[in-house]
Amino acid sequence: MTNPALPTTVAPKVVRRPGDHGQGRRRCAETGLNAIDITSAQLNCLRSDIERVGFGYLDNPLADGQVASLRREAAAQRAGARRACDDGAVSYRGYLAELGAIAIGTLTGPPVGGLLDALFGRHLVLARNSSCYTYYEAGDFLSAHRDDGDDCEVTVLIYLEAVSPDPEAVGSGLQLRIHVDQGGSPGAISQSIGTRANRLVVGRGAQIWHGRPTLNEGERVSLLSACFSQMRD
């Protein structure tokens, strides 16, 4: 979820079809990217996922040191996080905190900024006021929604912590659910992208319905949730 004051993104697997347990997707997911050193084949695979489903992902895109730095910053920012709750058209429960310098550097330069430039073939600008650290605990969720098209043409989620007694359970909250559009409302779930540490999810959040089910007891997630859009004059 991006800052709903703000609202926008969800927190959020191997892109998997129902019942396939992610098999056949690992050529995209398990790339082990280092500061996003991505091959043209991997880039095309990710682009194809986004065109086909609306979202794609990369596993281990950040170097261990970068992930550790983001986790430390996320933990420090958590102390000042505010509770975010709403029961409106987009309902949600979670905690939000402002980005720190490490998060902003990660998102605006290599690795993420460079990846987005290559992926979409144009420069996208971070919408800082619609981006944040997001924290989910047991009972938290984010209903199916589409992001603000002005600020969040492209949604990026970087999972820093993902804890669950059974993350593969059907009812686990450690998944980003992608929905088909049904007359301007979210329809059936077309894909579920599992939540795991150092997984980067990117997609057309303003066009595609997406949401997170309620986290179960013993589950928690922390992530960097970011919005990008075309630079405006």
Please give the single-letter amino acid code of residue 116: L
* Dihedral, 161, 164, 169, 170 alpha carbons, nearest 10: -60
Between CA 49 and CA 26 the distance in angstroms is 12
pLDDT-derived band at 3, boundaries 50, 70, 90? low
Per-residue pLDDT at 142: 97
- Is residue 203 in some structural domain? yes
Q: Is the pLDDT of residue 190 over 80?
A: yes
Q: What share of the chain is helix, strand, coil (3-state, %, to 5)?
A: 25, 35, 40
Contact 4, 84 (CB under 8 A): yes
CATH number, domain containing residue 167: 2.60.120.620
Please write the tens of the pLDDT for every residue from 118-158.
899 899 999 999 999 999 999 999 999 999 888 999 999 99
Predicted confidence (pLDDT) per residue in 4-40, tens digit: 444 333 333 223 333 333 333 333 444 433 457 678 8
Which one is predicted more confidently, 9 or 65? 65
pLDDT at 199 over 90: yes
Residue spans of alpha helices (H) in the chain = 26-29, 40-53, 64-78, 101-108, 112-120
In a domain, 3, yes or no: no
Q: Which tens digit of pLDDT belongs to each residue from 153-189?
A: 999 999 999 999 999 888 999 999 999 999 999 999 9
193: tokens are: 């992208």
| Residue 11 neighbours by CB under 8 Å, 6+ apart | 1, 94, 134, 136, 142, 157, 159, 176, 195, 212, 221, 223, 225
**Residue 210 falls within a domain, yes or no?**
yes
- pLDDT (0 to 100) of residue 141: 97
pTM of the entire predicted model: 0.85
Structural domain for 33, as ranges = 15-230
Total tally of structural domains belonging to the chain: 1
CA dist., res. 84 & res. 63, Å (int): 31
Which two tokens mark 29?
A: 């997911």
